[in-house]
Amino acid sequence: MVTLTDHAVAAIENLTTQSEAPPRSGLRIAMDGNRGSLQLSLAPQPVQGDEVVESGGARLFLDRDAAVALDTKALDAGTDPDGRVMFTVVEPSS
């Protein structure tokens, strides 16, 4: 199961509390089959069949393919030079 770094937890909490998202919303990651890439979006709730990862106050919803792709990884977050949140997939720390 994917893990969340402290930075990712803080970024997800910040995104879901600053938006007009309802309580218990989260970040959803889905696999884009056409591109072979991951799509991130804010979601009010998981879609049926999503794996739900909760850490601190952050909630992450993963579709089946994203859950498989991220199974042994960690999700981290930082900011780009313009101050926008960037999520990255990293190897978990021991």
CA distance 40 to 31: 9
CA 15 to chain CA mean position, Å:
11
CA-angle at 11, arms to 13 and 89, nearest 5°: 125
What CATH number does the domain containing 30 carry? 2.60.300.12
Q: What is the per-residue pLDDT for 18?
A: 82
Identity of the residue numbered 77: A
Q: What is the per-residue pLDDT for 36?
A: 79
Domain that holds residue 29: 3-90
Give the list of residues 6+ apart from residue 45 with CB closer than 8 angstroms, or none. 24, 25, 26, 61
Q: What is the pTM of this model?
A: 0.91
Task: Tell me how many domains the chain contains.
Answer: 1
Per-residue pLDDT of the chain (94 residues; tens, 9 = 90+): 899 999 999 999 999 988 677 888 999 999 987 887 999 999 999 999 999 999 998 999 999 999 999 999 999 999 999 999 999 999 987 6
Q: What is the per-residue pLDDT for 19?
A: 64
